[in-house]
Structure 1
Amino acid sequence: MSRTTITAPFSRAVVNAMRKLYPEDLADKSWDNTGLLLEAPFDPITRQMNSVLLTVDLTKAVADEAIERNDSIVVAYHPIIFRGLKSITLADTQQQSLLRLAAEGISVYSPHTAIDAADGGLGDWLADIITGTPITRDGEDELSLEPIPENPPDNEASITKDPFPSKDTKSNRPSFLLQHHPSQHMVQKTSPKPSITPHTRKPIKPLNPPHPSHPNGGMGRLVHFESPQPLSLLIERIATGVGNPKGFPIAIPQGASIDSVNIRSVGICAGSGGSLFAGLDTDLLFTGELSHHEALAAIERGQCVVTLFHSNTERGFLHNVLKLRLKKAVEEEWGRLRREERGRLGEEAEEALDDGDVSVEVSERDRDPYGIVISRAEL
């Protein structure tokens, strides 16, 4: 008689918790692929830890991390599967990661635009940054993001080895550092003193019909300040809110200067905002990336643009919001599931229900593919 194949009970608790926090019907199903993308079989003999690894992208490095940590499930914001598959082979690098995780008993869940559209989701987190609203983690004191140290740990891969020799060598060429966005392990508890600027906000594209559990949900956010705000102040807020990177792109109309521009309205979109911003009449567009022509058209219309590289508008949310929110929800869901499924799973699997631990961590190997190359002479 064949053995019944099931998912790890803890992984099911995590999926249930994610679906309660960010219902999958919030997502834009016209193109997105959200939900449980890899349901790994449960082996009670070699079962995983009761731990979740949060990441924006499920890369080979993140898959290695999850396997080393012995996680039960990876919650990857971006779906690793977007289109239908005719085969799953080792020839494809992303499929390699899925096959390796499945072999280890690690499942993968992707919420993507369900988080974007949710009340209190990614759109509101970015709106909180731009308006000076305190960035908090549920149930904890206010937080702020510390600047990256001059000499980060080697294992963070924040700075690569110089591709050119130093100026004092025979080649006499400048040396450069490749600086990636600050790792989320650098988020520290501090005592920030933010000032909440009076404003109104609403989705750029509201959910239609409204979702019963997220009545103010929708894609993007449109912020209107009661009084114009200096662009320089908003740039400072953005930099602080996402971890003080060494630099990021900004576009302003020709003839203007950062100090001369005041902003009354802001269009906000995590990731890539081009399609959502089409026809949007605001003073500032704040997103992860815009194409060259989209940015050029914006400044020709008199708008300003701030981009951070795609995933740098998303990664901080995992640490500042999702980590604590999901841990609380999983603790409740795991406690319920342990009570309800006692006596139903068979003797070997029952041992998994004895473990009440819950851990949710953010990947330290996840990062945007782009970094900033900085001349040592400018440091």
Structure 2
Amino acid sequence: MSVSMSSAPFSRAVVRAMRKLYPPALADNSWDNTGLLLEAPFVPSRPQSNTILLTIDLTRAVADEAIALKSSIIISYHPIIFRGLKCLTLANTQQQILLRLASHGISVYSPHTAVDAAPGGLGDWLADIVTGTRTSYEEFSDAVETPNSKEALDDNDPFTDLKPPPTYTLNHHPSQTSFRLATAASETVTTIPHTRRPIVPQSPDLESHPGAGMGRIVTFSNPQPLPTLLDRIGKGMNNPKGFPIAIPQGRTISDLSISSVGICAGSGGSMLGGLDVDLLFTGEMSHHEALAAIEKGQAVISLFHSNSERGFLTEVLRGQLEGMVEEEWAKIRQEDGENEELREVLEEEFEVLVSEVDRDPYGIVILKSDTG
């Protein structure tokens, strides 16, 4: 006699919602691995909360966070499984994470490049930043880091010297929950006239998602001073401590004007390399890719890989999911409404949360003068 198993009803609603928002057909399946990567079985005697946890990377810290929240499902932008697995053991740290999550009834879904390609997705979010199309976010005043205070230093941080006076501190980009949506009309940025198009258009085009494709090329109606774009990007990325920029030798930031921008979230070297644009805006590029760009007279801005992606979770994906999951959750409730075993689970509302511990592995070391 076979045993019937399924994932939690709420997890099924979330997977349906993600597939509608970001169809798997949009992903670059020649190398990417997207979709439902871990389907944890539903145990009626130990139900999870109807909570979605959004993250860029599924690390041990994020798994701990999801377990503490009793989340039903994690939406991890980056896939934790890229290649085929011949076994699942505790000897591998990433497999440990998967086994732990399965034992706690937590599923994992990864949309990755489907989000990059979708209209209104990650590529357009970055394009919105450089064109001033978005509404700004601002930090809570109590979330501002104060590296000069001893309380702000991490005792376990090998990059931080705890002996007074400290000569350097390691600063990571703040977690997304330390930001709130600016609602004042005066905080809405005026859109700069421009056109935009994908670098690699989706083929064949999806009727449900017209205009999809990888990367974006933004062309301004009037050239923009590079310092103005830097200010826009800094504010749009929630004021990071700093980010790398490369410009041609013999030029200065203040004398560069930008008429066109090539955009790619994450690692953009291969996609942006052949573009005839003034500025390459991405998460990371190799030394030689950046060198080749400035030799062509281009400027390069890189943000660290996942810092070019993380803000999208709070500013776009969370709101999208709240709307789409509400529709799919209502359908699941109707479909499973006669199942007495699911009555308590189906009566619960849901919540979409953004991880507080997810962060790029790189931080910025800020040097300070030694006054000792």
Residue 99 (1) aligns with residue 99 (2): yes
**Matched residue SS, 2:75:** strand
Question: How far apart in 1 are the matches of 2:7 and 2:145?
Answer: 44
The 8 Å contact of residues 194 and 219 in structure 2, kept in 1 or not, is answered as yes
The 8 Å contact of residues 273 and 293 in structure 2, kept in 1 or not, is answered as no
**Matched residue SS, 2:170:** strand
Q: Which AA in structure 1 matches 2:369? A: A
Q: Which AA in structure 1 matches 2:295? A: E
Question: How far apart in 2 are the matches of 1:144 and 1:158?
Answer: 30
The 8 Å contact of residues 153 and 160 in structure 2, kept in 1 or not, is answered as no
Equivalence for 2:196: 201
- Per-residue CA distance 1:298-351 (angstroms, 9 max, x = gap): 0000000000000001000000000011011111110111012222x4x32343
* Change beyond 3 A, Cα 1:266–1:37: same
Cα distance, 1:215 vs. partner? 1.0
Question: How far apart in 1 are the matches of 2:100 and 2:162?
Answer: 39
Equivalence for 2:161: 164
- Per-residue CA distance 1:264-285 (angstroms, 9 max, x = gap): 0000000000111121110000
22-31 or 149-158: which moved more?
149-158
**Matched residue SS, 1:286:** strand
Equivalence for 1:187: 179
Equivalence for 1:128: 128
**Matched residue SS, 1:263:** strand
The 8 Å contact of residues 145 and 152 in structure 2, kept in 1 or not, is answered as no
Question: How far apart in 1 are the matches of 2:153 and 2:211?
Answer: 38
Cα distance, 1:146 vs. partner? 2.6
Q: Percent identity?
A: 60
Residue 342 (1) aligns with residue 334 (2): no
The 8 Å contact of residues 23 and 114 in structure 2, kept in 1 or not, is answered as yes
Structure 1's unaligned 5+ residue stretches are: 136-142, 169-173
Question: How far apart in 2 are the matches of 1:210 and 1:81?
Answer: 27
1:38-53 equivalences under 5 Å are 38-53=38-53
Question: How far apart in 1 are the matches of 2:158 and 2:365?
Answer: 11
Cα distance, 1:164 vs. partner? 2.9
Residue 223 (1) aligns with residue 215 (2): no
Q: Which AA in structure 2 matches 1:223? A: V
Equivalence for 1:278: 273
Q: Which AA in structure 2 matches 1:261? A: L
Question: How far apart in 2 are the matches of 1:183 and 1:120?
Answer: 23
* Change beyond 3 A, Cα 1:155–1:178: closer
**Matched residue SS, 1:361:** strand
Equivalence for 2:207: 212
Structure 1: 4+ residue segments shifted above 2 A: 145-148, 150-168, 347-351
TM score, norm. by length of structure 2: 0.93
Equivalence for 2:254: 259
Structure 2's unaligned 5+ residue stretches are: none
Question: How far apart in 2 are the matches of 1:235 and 1:88?
Answer: 45
Equivalence for 1:145: 138
The 8 Å contact of residues 158 and 182 in structure 1, kept in 2 or not, is answered as no
Q: What is the Cα-based RMSD across aligned positions, in Å?
A: 2.1
Count of residue pairs brought into register by the alignment: 363
Question: How far apart in 1 are the matches of 2:353 and 2:156?
Answer: 23
The 8 Å contact of residues 160 and 177 in structure 1, kept in 2 or not, is answered as no
TM score, norm. by length of structure 1: 0.91
Question: How far apart in 2 are the matches of 1:89 and 1:291?
Answer: 34
Equivalence for 1:313: 308
Equivalence for 1:140: none
Equivalence for 1:139: none
Cα distance, 1:249 vs. partner? 0.2
Residue 119 (1) aligns with residue 119 (2): yes
Cα distance, 1:255 vs. partner? 0.6
Equivalence for 1:353: 346
Question: How far apart in 2 are the matches of 1:274 and 1:45?
Answer: 49
**Matched residue SS, 1:46:** coil
Cα distance, 1:205 vs. partner? 0.5
- Per-residue CA distance 1:70-124 (angstroms, 9 max, x = gap): 0000000000001110000001100000000000000000000000000000000
The 8 Å contact of residues 161 and 177 in structure 1, kept in 2 or not, is answered as no
**Matched residue SS, 1:197:** coil
